[in-house]
Amino acid sequence: MSPLRSGDRRHTPPWDVRPLIGRKHELTLVERRPIGERAVRVTLGGFGLEGFRYRGGDQRCTLLIPWPEEEAWRYMVPMITDPWSAASQWGFAAALTRPLRRHLTVSGYRADALEVDFDILLHGESPLSTWAEDAPLGSTVDVIDNGRRYHVPVGTRWQLLIADEAGAPAALAVAAETPSAVPTTLYVPRTVATRGADGSTDHVTVVSVPTHEGQSASGEAFASTVLADSLPLVPDLVGIAGERSFTHTLVTRLRRAGVPRSAIHARSYWKRQ
């Protein structure tokens, strides 16, 4: 999810917090456990978390994960004699040896144990899914704190939150911290609602959207459900989080339905190939 306003000083972090945003922390993979058919929770910890500032909500971190070794070495030896092509191959090989950046929402933080949790959606043979499933316990990974960006302004009368499996941690965290005076409707896949992450409270109404077994949530299915349930009433604030085509579809459909672009704040976490 993206910031309410880039220049909104009401939500600017305190002066002593700013230097900590963007800081890199070297952490150790402590634990992994499944939390659903297609999701796993990984716990990272260690003294590298000293100085980490947990801000809640949609606080996001960037994981710097290495390319699988076999993928990088495939390009390490130029296969032709032309020097220009060889140089470009060496440059490509250098790019492959750099860590991959993947964005995740903080799902839990325990300052006393110096541990932080991330929920990862497993989608095929992607580098992030491979790392989440196969990285040995005790291995290290670098994490960059990107801070919290989504805030609910004073005076909001109704908030609409929409998320697929990847964006559910952010949407659930935002809903949990939304002031009780702000009615909120939260749309999540049924796979998320049925694993105990309902999030319903007096001011938060959770709507579970059916998804096909073994498939990612469809932006079209969510858009049809949201438009049928919630509009023509126009929400003051809409937060969308998920896979890139999912967020793009929802933004497009909501705009066509008359929701102002300024009220829609979308944030992507991965891109379906």
- The domain locations on the chain are 9-69+97-145, 159-268
User: Is residue 11 over pLDDT 50?
Assistant: no
Among 58, 15, 76, which Cα is nearest to 267's?
Answer: 58
Other C-beta atoms lying within 10 Å of the C-beta of residue 38: 18
Burial of residue 51 (number of CB atoms within 10 Å: 0-12, 13-18, 19+): exposed
Sheet order of strands, 204-209 included? 204-209, 184-189, 159-163, 237-242, 264-268
pLDDT in tens, 92-107: 655 566 678 889 999 9
pLDDT in tens, 129-185: 889 999 999 999 999 999 898 999 999 999 999 998 889 999 999 998 999 999 999
Is domain 9-69+97-145 classified as CATH 2.40.30.10?
yes
Q: What is the pLDDT of residue 193?
A: 63
Across all residues in the chain, what is the average pLDDT? 80
Q: CA–CA separation, 219 vs 243, rounded Å?
A: 9
**Under 8 Å CB-to-CB from 243, ≥6 apart: which residues?**
164, 166, 167, 216, 217, 268, 269, 270, 271, 272
State the pairing for strand pair 237-242/159-163: parallel
Q: CA–CA separation, 3 vs 268, rounded Å?
A: 13
**Under 8 Å CB-to-CB from 172, ≥6 apart: which residues?**
163, 186, 188, 192, 197, 199
Q: How confident is the model at residue 227 (pLDDT cuts 50, 70, 90)?
A: confident
Residue 146 contacts residue 22 (beta carbons within 8 Å): yes
159-268 adopts what CATH topology?
Rossmann fold (3.40.50)
